[in-house]
Structure 1
């Protein structure tokens, strides 16, 4: 089972659309995971229409329309892997301990909010993944997303993908 992980798309504030390389991954994914801060419902509708299965949560920048359609925390079992998705996990310091206490029956926690890619494992074995942002790199060198595979309850082949820099749209010429 192939997973596509993203977060913090912030459309249309940070970009006008999702990057083409990310959109090209949608048909290859069995499950698309979005860890919040969609900002617009159009992105949710787009991913729902193009995904075999979508697991998503709302983030701190998501308004009432998204909060009505998405949970704060999502749980799923994917081929024996116990997965949870949440937007915010608090400060980096102590994150593994806090999340392991909050999600004791989870194998993998996908989160967002910081726009900083993250891949660590807590002492309990909980794997924490933040795919960064495909549209708003903030202080990071690249916009990013992740892919992974799940087989027999095991997460494998976790990859962070760097996206090429966005090219600003040229102003329209006047006639």
Structure 2
């Protein structure tokens, strides 16, 4: 049976929105694992996600203060159904990202990152999948706020889907 994932980043609560959109909470409560790639901004969101989800994998971002940095790593590693994940917040400039990440994380099959608020889904020359969910609360120059869902099953990442969010 596949493991269902919600992948989010750059929630920036309460600076960009007062709360996560209902669709994101619905997804968080329906999946097996939530992955958050940093810039939570408030520890209350971390507490609430820990309470309302089955499993949470998260890292801190550049906008996260000492309270979040005490509880979260800069880099997280996890194996889910035989798929090796690394989660970080920043990867640097888009130009050359695939080669840099291959060199930095040669043991990963999937690298989840945030920071740019720009959805990203590519595969590096070394075969690693790079995923950025965008932001569910701050679209910046993107047409919509976004998040990702995916599944892992028997050593494979499948069903990666970008979702647009309607803010209410």
TM (norm. structure 2) is 0.98
Partner of 1:31: 33
Partner of 1:62: 64
Partner of 2:4: 2
User: Is 1:145 paired with 2:158?
Assistant: no
Partner of 2:73: 71
User: 1: distance between equivalents of 2:103 and 2:49?
Assistant: 31
Structure 1 unaligned blocks of 5 or more:
168-175
User: Is 1:46 paired with 2:36?
Assistant: no
Tell me the secondary structure at the aligned position of residue 134 of structure 2.
coil
CA RMSD of aligned residues (A): 0.6
Tell me the secondary structure at the aligned position of residue 119 of structure 1.
strand
User: 1: distance between equivalents of 2:120 and 2:48?
Assistant: 26
- Deviating above 3 A after TM superposition, structure 1's stretches of 4 or more consecutive aligned residues are none
The structure number with the bigger radius of gyration is 1
TM (norm. structure 1) is 0.94
Q: How much does 1:76 deviate?
A: 0.3
Q: How much does 1:19 deviate?
A: 0.2
Structure 2 unaligned blocks of 5 or more:
none
User: 1: distance between equivalents of 2:110 and 2:117?
Assistant: 18
Q: How much does 1:98 deviate?
A: 0.3
User: Is 1:109 paired with 2:111?
Assistant: yes
Q: How much does 1:37 deviate?
A: 0.1
Tell me the secondary structure at the aligned position of residue 146 of structure 2.
strand
Tell me the secondary structure at the aligned position of residue 47 of structure 1.
helix
Q: How much does 1:26 deviate?
A: 1.5
User: 1: distance between equivalents of 2:42 and 2:5?
Assistant: 23
Q: How much does 1:28 deviate?
A: 1.4
Q: Aligned residues, how many?
A: 166
